[in-house]
Structure formats: structure tokens, C-alpha cells
Structure 1
Amino acid sequence: MVKERLASFICGALVACGKESVFLVDVRVKGTARISKVEVLVDTDTGISIATCLLVNRCLIDVFEESEDVKSLVGDDYELTVSSPGIGEPIMNVRQYIRHTGHLLRLQYTDQDNVMHEAVGRLLTAEVLGVAAPFIVLEPIIERKGKKGVHSEPVRLELSCIKRAVVEVEF
């Protein structure tokens, strides 16, 4: 409940601050009874810079200070951190698929029989905004021990079937 209300407030604050291209990935509230720690993860469709994170942080601090609603959620004493999602963090917002087009993903998904599968592949396309059934197209890579992976035919996966997606680090 707190997380959802805070997320809604942050999304509105991003628009009010003129940061429409920045989208909220996640908000985490931790801490003690004395001080709350609010961690805000943001991104853009093309990646986010440290400078943009800093501007968003300043904007949110200003808006938080003026809002009694936010103070009722996090208290008067809080720490606010704004950053981009780290490596290995699961995809939480559908717009992140756009951002990671061309990258390698590790997915857990269910098929039409509701059987869980895992796949690693290159994200070729992400049709996730303004469509009735958002989907991605993944070029699976069949992993072989000690050898380079073999590419197979691209697969279309609806987002409703994807249970977890993580961007893989490539070397």
C-alpha cells in the first residue's frame, strides 16, 4: 500500500518536474522507526545518466518536502536515493524491454499449457506500448558447455507469460 501510493506520487512528480522521458522502475522503502530510506529506481528508453538521476533526486526532494501525503508515508526524517537499476536486477517496468532491445536476456516464462520454461536469448523487438497484447521477440541461444551458444529461430512471447526477465552481462 505504501509502495503503491509512493510510486503514484513519484510518477506525478516526474511529470510536474518536466521529466516525462524518465520512468519509474521501482521504489523501495526500508529503514527503522526513526528514519526511512527511500530508494527510487528510474530509467529512460535510451538509458539514464548520473546527471539526470541527480536532477530527479533534487526534484523529488523539493516535492517531498512540500507534500504532507509523502510525509505521512515516509515520515519527517528520510533518506532519498535515486539511481538506475543495477546489473542483475529483474525487469520491473515494460518500458525497460525497449531500453534493452539488442541485449541478452535470461527469461522465465510459461507456455500455453502453463509449464514453466527458462531461456536465454537476444531481445530483437519489444512491442510493449499501445498494443492490446504486449510482446517481445527473442532469438534464443542454446547454451553448450565450453562452446559458443547456437542461435535458434526467433520466438514471440507475450509479456503476460513472462514471469521474470534479467539482462545478462556480456563480455
Structure 2
Amino acid sequence: MRKKVEKTLFGLWAGELFAVVCFALLWLIYAQHFEWAEPYVTSWPSVYAFALLEFILLQGSYYWFVKWKQVRRGCFSHLPDRHLRLFHVFKRINLFLIAIGLLFLIYQWKVFSVDFYWFVFLYLFAILEYINYYHVRLSYQTIDEIKDFLRQRGFRRSKLASEWKTRS
């Protein structure tokens, strides 16, 4: 059982980190090699939304990494208070950055530049990742997870949000 949980957690943190690195590499490749992509990947609003997304994905990777390290040590308990406080700080920073993103959204909507839809996609992706980590679980990937989701008739609290709730 422990090995299975350890393997799952390793896959989660490594997968999130891999996504962060791959997204960044693809962003750079498109910026340097595809002229048609330049307005999409070099505008300030798009860069901002992309950086916000990457920042939130890194937090997810870090969360799963910490949980993986706990399981490797044989500890299946909740996160230590210092980690919970750090994620609480991240949560506040995320909300501040999302609010700034609203200003970019308003600007993009008024100007309606060529990258409007790309910005909206990245911005919404970042918000969904934030919700997925800090509020309710939005990602269900395996058949068993999907069946469980259908049986429970709704979304579950995210793992991180559950840890906060048990501490309250």
C-alpha cells in the first residue's frame, strides 16, 4: 500500500514539474521559431497569464513533493504547520495575482488585441488550477476516480483544502 501511494505521489509531483518545464520550453520555442506566434507569446498580458499559470503549477508540484517525502519517511499525517502556513501565503499571493489579471482582462477586452483569446485561455487555466489546488478537486483522471466522482454526485474538497479544514 505504501509503495503504491508513494508511486502515485511521485507521479503527481514529477508530472506537475514536467508540465511546468515543458510549457516553458514550448513557450520559448514558439517565441523564437514561429513568427505567427509572436503576438501571442510576447504580449504583456499573455506573459503575465502564463507566468501566473506556471507559478500555480509549481505550487502544486511542491505540495505533492512534500506529501511524497512524508510518505517516504513513513508519515501519512497531514502537512506540518510550517507548510500549511506557506501554502496559506501562496493562496493569498495567488488571489492578489489573479486580481491583477482581472485588470489585464479588462484591458484586453477593451483593446481586443490579437492575443485576447489566448490570454483568456491561459488566465482561466491558471484560475482553474488555483481552484483545483486550494478549493475543490477538478481533475479526475482514472476510470476509478471518474466512477467515484459520479457516485459522490459532486466535487470533493481538494487535498490541500482538506488539510486546512482538519486543522481548523
In the superposition, the TM-score normalised over structure 1's length comes to 0.27
Larger % of strand: which?
1
Larger % of helix: which?
2
Task: Determine which structure has greater relative contact order: mean sequence separation of CA pairs < 8 Å that are 6+ residues apart, divided by chain length.
Answer: 2
In the superposition, the TM-score normalised over structure 2's length comes to 0.27
